[in-house]
Amino acid sequence: MSKKKVGIWLIGAAGGVATTSIVALDALARANARGKTGGKGPDRAGHAASDITTALTSELPPFARLDLPGWGDWVVGGHEIRDISLPDAARSMAGPEGFLPAKYLEPAMASLEEIARRVRPGTIVGAGPTIAALAGPDVPREESAQDAVRRIQADIEQFMADEGLEHVVVVNVASTEPPIDADRLPHRWADVEALLDSPTCPLPASTLYAIAALKAEHADTTASYINFTPSLGSTPAAIGELVHLRQSRHMGCDGKTGETLLKSVLAPMFARRNLDVMSWVGHNIFGNLDGRVLDNPVNKSAKVRSKDHLLSEMLPRPPQTHVSIEYIESMGDWKTAWDHIHFRGLLGVPMTMQFIWQGCDSILAAPLVLDLARFTELARRRGHVGPMPFLASFFKSPYGVSEQAFDRQFAMLERWAEQE
Amino acid sequence: MSKKKVGIWLIGAAGGVATTSIVALDALARANARGKTGGKGPDRAGHAASDITTALTSELPPFARLDLPGWGDWVVGGHEIRDISLPDAARSMAGPEGFLPAKYLEPAMASLEEIARRVRPGTIVGAGPTIAALAGPDVPREESAQDAVRRIQADIEQFMADEGLEHVVVVNVASTEPPIDADRLPHRWADVEALLDSPTCPLPASTLYAIAALKAEHADTTASYINFTPSLGSTPAAIGELVHLRQSRHMGCDGKTGETLLKSVLAPMFARRNLDVMSWVGHNIFGNLDGRVLDNPVNKSAKVRSKDHLLSEMLPRPPQTHVSIEYIESMGDWKTAWDHIHFRGLLGVPMTMQFIWQGCDSILAAPLVLDLARFTELARRRGHVGPMPFLASFFKSPYGVSEQAFDRQFAMLERWAEQE
Amino acid sequence: MSKKKVGIWLIGAAGGVATTSIVALDALARANARGKTGGKGPDRAGHAASDITTALTSELPPFARLDLPGWGDWVVGGHEIRDISLPDAARSMAGPEGFLPAKYLEPAMASLEEIARRVRPGTIVGAGPTIAALAGPDVPREESAQDAVRRIQADIEQFMADEGLEHVVVVNVASTEPPIDADRLPHRWADVEALLDSPTCPLPASTLYAIAALKAEHADTTASYINFTPSLGSTPAAIGELVHLRQSRHMGCDGKTGETLLKSVLAPMFARRNLDVMSWVGHNIFGNLDGRVLDNPVNKSAKVRSKDHLLSEMLPRPPQTHVSIEYIESMGDWKTAWDHIHFRGLLGVPMTMQFIWQGCDSILAAPLVLDLARFTELARRRGHVGPMPFLASFFKSPYGVSEQAFDRQFAMLERWAEQE
Amino acid sequence: MSKKKVGIWLIGAAGGVATTSIVALDALARANARGKTGGKGPDRAGHAASDITTALTSELPPFARLDLPGWGDWVVGGHEIRDISLPDAARSMAGPEGFLPAKYLEPAMASLEEIARRVRPGTIVGAGPTIAALAGPDVPREESAQDAVRRIQADIEQFMADEGLEHVVVVNVASTEPPIDADRLPHRWADVEALLDSPTCPLPASTLYAIAALKAEHADTTASYINFTPSLGSTPAAIGELVHLRQSRHMGCDGKTGETLLKSVLAPMFARRNLDVMSWVGHNIFGNLDGRVLDNPVNKSAKVRSKDHLLSEMLPRPPQTHVSIEYIESMGDWKTAWDHIHFRGLLGVPMTMQFIWQGCDSILAAPLVLDLARFTELARRRGHVGPMPFLASFFKSPYGVSEQAFDRQFAMLERWAEQE
């Protein structure tokens, strides 16, 4: 493993997922320094040590012998549009209504303050009115798409230079934008690039971030891009071409954390038992900032589509489906999903399965962000270019992967790990 | 495929699982005759045809090209200790409180009456007092273990002879016996065989049935044995030796139909996401005959153990577990399970998943019985001898298989299907 | 008790609620004839007899001594817009996917056929496009509001005459219309009456039925009106005036059968324990005709409002609420509601209650229809004129009653019963 | 309202319920001093002020004008058998796995330390082995029943004297003892009193505490007794006689906080709608000290009986019932109950209601303890002697009250409040 540092650049750097990732990374780095996590070896044992690696896929035995970066090797920066400091954001996520445990937050305050100095104003170009309304005074109101890309790119390049980084993994963990149909954009990078200068550039902010990330370079350091949201990001074919032109890598989209994870686990069971799923209804309630943005029906539609499409891909006969997401303020970051699955068994007899998932959104998402950063860095070390299908198990809508069953997606990751 | 017939011999022939299996087999055979099921080919299409094959694993695409017996190739017989005719049993399972759809029951009445003539009195030797109390007047009260084995064996041999069968698959679908520790029995068949003549023979009825099945032969026809229950059956090492001596095959135990199926699907998800399951509580309520027998705490203990042990085998750190099964008369054959899974995510944050499974026990179990019979017959045709690990996905406690994850068990079946 | 007959006139006569009411009334009348129900006395005892009176409030002990009409004293007729015969409708509600038990349907077929001859074509004037699309060929397409009222009135008067009825209770059990704001209509009957002749009459079908019912008379026989739906019906003040002018009585609206019943039982508990309900989310799925009509967002809005308003009236601090109703075809008449109640206890600690209600809509509604008819007839015998607040416990939005707690509403019924 | 102080004496003073009561009382007294709670008037308004009175019945409008003691008028002491200081106990209930909000705990530490000095060693005479095993070194191992009564009585009298109290309300919030049949004890106080000197005295610890409390007096100060647990306490007729002899008052037993509260709210709904409840299953899981004691089947049986008996008293036909309580360590003080209610509606159609209650046991119980103390003090001021049926709504098994419906019990409290 190289001695040089690796960067994580978080878009939405003061949001719940980013903040939780930073607090956890701090705890992991300190535990690592004390020899209390496996880091890259199978030496973990006992309850206390493993506590801090709980929820991290990359800490599982099949990945123990890989050349993954250690937890202390990471430097964090990012973009944020809101006028909130990272330490304040973190404090608001602890406390009586919060979810961040004080015992991890307190020691991480120094890290949060240091990282806060690396957080730069994001862009609201193409982000839609609901997100734009959240922007603080430092965020440019009138910049063009081209200006936004250049500014963001410069921020990332500065990060590379200041920290002497070997590689930066840019992860979009910002709120969900209104949907844009990727197929209606030009399919070639040259044509999309030309749009940046147009005053009516149709690209959403998430795609501008992706372009900036992929174009960023300092000396021989470049960046990879991970789209953890249902926003467009690097989904368009033209951005995929840019990934190849830049010899970079990307993956997305939409982290698979809760209800959809369960769909990708349960639907294959129904299929393998030849049970005929007639309808699958999923209702989600939660109350964090992401939820407030999703309360705008336009933003919500992107999310619902991402949560819904899997079922018809995993079940032989597509059931009637319904997905709702409602912003219920009292829930805070706690997302509760109720799913009702109505199926027929032998002789057509109808039966029912219901599940209730009560999870904390940021706590579920953050470990995936850290795992994705680690695996993406390893992919770079292995010389991988393009989309990373072996990371499909982390996403609701994995780029270029039609397999939606979680177990088969996980086997793809295991097989990739075994290579070399 | 041979033109000769294959037999299914059901122990507990008038119970819910057996009766449902018979009604479904009748519907399948008639649909098959009309060309309305795939039978052995990929020609099924459309909703109406597939209705009747719903819930049958052996009708899935990966198994379409196998030399499986057609649905019309089966002849059914069995043992039953209760004084109830098969047609009456079936009628009691339809109607307002029942679960058997009238549209399948009515046309099956002729089959049920014909099969009823092949049902012979079972044995209560070693079955425990709760089961013995159910016995009708035709069941011998005082026979020795040796007498029981000989009588049962003779019944099966008569079935082979009368019907001109090529092979018989004996499936135990009787109620759960009190548990017996297999390790405390002699490990060699010769020593167990000697016990049969002892007046204090410790073997339970399910093992006597297994011995009789394995010893049965007529001309060159023999039988295989499937233990669909948590009872001892062919679990002891000595019976495994008998299986090999007889060049037969067997598998068990305890069909994986509902709550435990979900455990074998969900626990791997928690493990693969490195989520720390702290406790897993499962409460089951149902009201059929099986439930009444399980209301005896001794009988229940065998079932609970079978439902419970998987978790510690699938999860890296064994959670606290609790399984209850309660006989609630009003539920009839409808089994409702509520499972509460308490787990930690990143930074030790506790979260909860709950599921409610409302399934009809016999409707869930019967297709597995039919699939097992089909796959066992194919195993015989392929010359397989001994336990059948490729059938692990059908069982809560698969003989000789430590893999408990449903997806990996299912992959074992797919790989076996691809052989040859 | 009078020897003369009493009529129930059902608007939506071939729908699930009407059909179930008719089948139950038939079973009750026959049980009554055999002396197997209490009818008007406390003589019922034992399981078999009480089975058939299960779910009937008017059969409870507090109402045993009242001068309620016997179950055999009723004659049924009604309006229906669809081109479906009552016996066919009933048959479609039995069978594998249905809910009507065959043992009650079969003996009721003669009644259903007799009643079918009294079912007249309804009106689609003002019913909205979703409902109008269901209309059969006998329903006039172009009639004016005035024509519709006259035709409907004549049908009810003919029913009075043909059957020699003492009184008719008209009950609206038709599908939910798009909402109309009652306050925007003229407040005086004279002004509303004038609207009937206007080509742009704003009155919905449900109000035209109410007007026709209230105006109907034959000899000294008149009709009362019950609005069992969230449609406008007799809600406007002007119709209330007509009720008084006609010395009649009415009540509504929207039968309280499931989720809302639970709200009116649980919300007072939270209030009396001073628990602070922060949010109350209710998701409903079902698949009957009513659900298909409610799938139109306009029709749905009336229903949602009726299901939602109670909470803020029963809880000291109005919680955030959300109600959804989704049409899920596979559910048929089975309505499943999941409610998630998020509340604070001492020291502000948040806690959660969830409930899942799996009820059959028509089976829950029909007994209320029969009870309402009985109590309304008793109210007439007692000389009651105007709205009937003592029937509040049957409705989601009881006319003229601000008390929403079910227990206090029920106490109002008990007190009324004790009068005289 | 008197200027003198009133005492609460808590048996089980360092348990979850007691500690939470103390922390809440501290917060209430401080809010009261700042004029931030209604105390005895209707002047509360707004969210911030009412937060701290949330969950307190005695703060509801119907009780606003009563001469209830203010929150600052209470002095707390108690008995505890474990070797744990109150401040330490409180700290263990806060923190990541706890439930006490830090913002209320921190300011209460001074109160907790002061009260800790008034906590005296309890007795384990007759408490059963599971509870006895928890006892610290200060608890006498060999004292007789008579010794225990005298010692406890002296402690309470010392409390009266030291604090100059007008009245003491002794509340048993200790863990559940093994059950004792009250009917098998002598029915007269004189006979029970004689047993105290017997070396085989059958009285459990809870009854010894009750006797000591009722006998305690200093100057003209006496004590009342509240049995908040299912233990025997003052249940025996002989203790009721002692209550009258002492001109005191008592009430019990077993605080109605969660699942049973819901039973007493929902069962009347089923009864009033004449729905036929066939079975009612309730499974409870939790992991606090009370749960660990209840893990002993003997102790559990008392609790299960108390949770179960209501249903048959509220429903016309007793359903099959089942109640389980399981100690699941990871749950801590969070009690989750899953109830499955299977009922028939019209025409015998079976339907289901399920609820899931996720409540914090101590947080639910503590406000009832404070309310009971307040109302008991008012009863004393009003000259009430004997059991207090108007407090029935707080108990699972209210002394001398057959009414189990929560709404009617609450109306009893309202009527009592209106008196005078």
- Helix then strand then coil, in percent of chain B rounded to 5, is 45, 20, 35
Closest-CA distance, D414 to chain B, in angstroms, reads 39
Nearest residue of B to residue D337 by CA position?
B340
Place of tokens 């005036």: C241
Identify which of B54, B265, B406 has the shortest CB distance to residue A276: B54
Contact predicate A168/A214, CB 8 Å? no
CB contact under 8 A, C330 and A281: no
Q: Do residue D96 and residue A101 have CB atoms under 8 angstroms apart?
A: yes
Q: Looking at CA atoms only, how far is residue C217 from chain D in angstroms?
A: 33
Residue C102 near chain B (CB below 8 Å): yes
Neighbours of B129 (CB within 10 A): 11
- D31-82 pLDDT tens trace: 988 876 644 333 333 333 358 999 999 999 999 999 999 999 999 999 999 9
Task: Say yes or no for a CB contact (<8 Å) between D348 and B281.
Answer: no
Q: Write down the pLDDT at residue C36.
A: 62
Q: Find chains touching chain A: ≥3 CB pairs under 8 Å.
A: B, C, D
Residues A374, A346: Cα–Cα separation, whole Å: 46
* Per-residue pLDDT reduced to its tens digit, C120-159: 999 999 998 888 999 999 999 989 999 999 999 999 999 9
Mean pLDDT of D88-96: 89
Q: Which of residues 41-80 of C touch D (CB under 8 A)?
A: 47, 50-57, 59-60
pLDDT of residue B301: 79
pLDDT band, very low/low/confident/very high, at C45 (cuts 50, 70, 90):
very low
Reported ipTM: the value is 0.94
Q: Among the residues of B143-232, which ranges form H helices?
A: 145-163, 189-195, 205-215
CB C378 within 8 A of CB C68: yes
Supply the pLDDT for residue C297.
79
Supply the pLDDT for residue A3: 60
**Residue whose pair of structure tokens reads 């109290």 in the numeric block:** D165
The reported pTM is: 0.94
Report the C-alpha gap between A305 and A286 in whole angstroms: 18
pLDDT at C2 over 60: no
- pLDDT tens-place string over residues C251-274: 999 999 999 999 999 999 999 999
| C-beta atoms of D274 and C348 within 8 A | no
Query: Length of chain D in residues, anyone?
Result: 420
- The CA distance from C105 to C20, in Å, is 9
Residue C259: closest CA among C322, C203, C327: C322
Cα–Cα distances (Å) from A93 to A176, B304, D94, D105, D214, in that order, read 20, 42, 17, 20, 50
- What pLDDT, on a 0 to 100 scale, did the predictor assign at position C42? 34
Least CB–CB distance from D285: residue in B326, B328, B340: B340
pLDDT of residue C3 exceeding 80: no
Q: Is A159 left (phi over 0), alpha (psi -120 to 50) or beta?
A: alpha
pLDDT at A39 (0 to 100) = 42
What does pLDDT average to over chain C?
Answer: 92
**Model confidence band, residue C399 (pLDDT cutoffs 50, 70, 90):** very high
What SS3 class is residue A128?
coil
**Does any CB of chain D come closer than 8 Å to the CB of residue C101?**
yes
Is any Cβ of chain C less than 8 angstroms from the Cβ of B330? no
Please report which residue ranges of A34-144 form alpha helices under DSSP H.
47-53, 86-93, 102-116, 129-132
Report pLDDT for C77: 98
| Contact list, B322 vs chain D (CB under 8 Å) | 285, 326, 328
Contacts of C334 in chain B (CB under 8 A): none
Q: Which of B96, B101, B356 sits opposite C96 (nearest CB)?
A: B101
Cβ separation B348–A275 shorter than 8 A: no
Predicted pLDDT of residue A293:
80
CA distance D202 to chain C (A): 37
Q: Tell me if chain A has a CB within 8 Å of the CB of B29.
A: no
**Average pLDDT taken over every residue of chain B:** 92
Is residue B199 predicted with pLDDT exceeding 60? Answer: yes
Question: What's the CA gap between A276 and A342, in Å, rounded?
Answer: 9
User: Does D27 contact chain C (CB < 8 Å)?
Assistant: yes
CA D368 to chain CA mean position, Å: 7
Put simply, the answer to whether C283 touches A354 (Cβ < 8 Å) is no
C96 contacts B96? CB cut-off 8 A: no
**Which residues of chain B from 275 to 294 reach within 8 Å of chain D, CB to CB?**
278-279, 281, 283, 285
What does the pLDDT read at residue A374?
98
**Which pLDDT does position D65 carry in this prediction?**
92
State the DSSP string of B280-330: EEEEEEE-SHHHHHHTSHHHHHHHHHHHHHHHHHHSSSPPEEEEEEEE-GG
Q: Which of residues 386-405 of A touch B (CB under 8 A)?
A: 393, 405
Task: Quote the tokens at residue B407.
Answer: 């997806």
| B94: closest chain C residue by CA | C96
What are the distances in angstroms from CA C336 to CA A194, B167, B270, C285?
A: 53, 48, 29, 5
Confidence at B36, pLDDT banded by 50, 70, 90: low
Residues of C in Cβ contact (< 8 Å) with D23: 347
B275 backbone dihedrals φ, ψ, rounded to 5°: -85, 140
**Cβ of residue D102 closer than 8 Å to a chain A Cβ:** yes
B96 touches chain C (CB under 8 A): yes
Residue with tokens 């172009």: C142
Q: What is the DSSP letter of B228?
A: -
Nearest-neighbour CA in chain C from A278: distance (Å): 6
SS3 at position B67: coil
- Chain A / chain B CB contacts < 8 angstroms: 177
Q: D26 with D186: CB under 8 angstroms?
A: no
Percent of chain B with pLDDT over 70: 95
- What SS3 class is residue C149? helix
Of D279, D320, D326, the CB nearest to B281: D326
Section D280-305 average pLDDT: 83
**Furthest CA-CA distance within chain C:** 68
For residues B175-188, average pLDDT: 90
Of the listed ranges A16-20, B182-186, C363-367, the one predicted with least confidence: B182-186
Distance from CA of D47 to the nearest CA of A (A): 14
Amino acid found at C265: V
Question: Which residues of chain A fall below pLDDT 50?
Answer: 1-2, 38-49
Between the CA of residue C369 and those of C159, C241, C376, C400, C416, what are the distances in Å? 19, 24, 10, 20, 19
Model confidence band, residue C237 (pLDDT cutoffs 50, 70, 90): very high
User: Around Cβ B176, how many Cβ atoms within 10 Å?
Assistant: 25
The set of chains that have 3 or more CB pairs under 8 A with C is A, B, D
Alpha carbon of B182: minimum distance to chain A alpha carbons (Å): 31
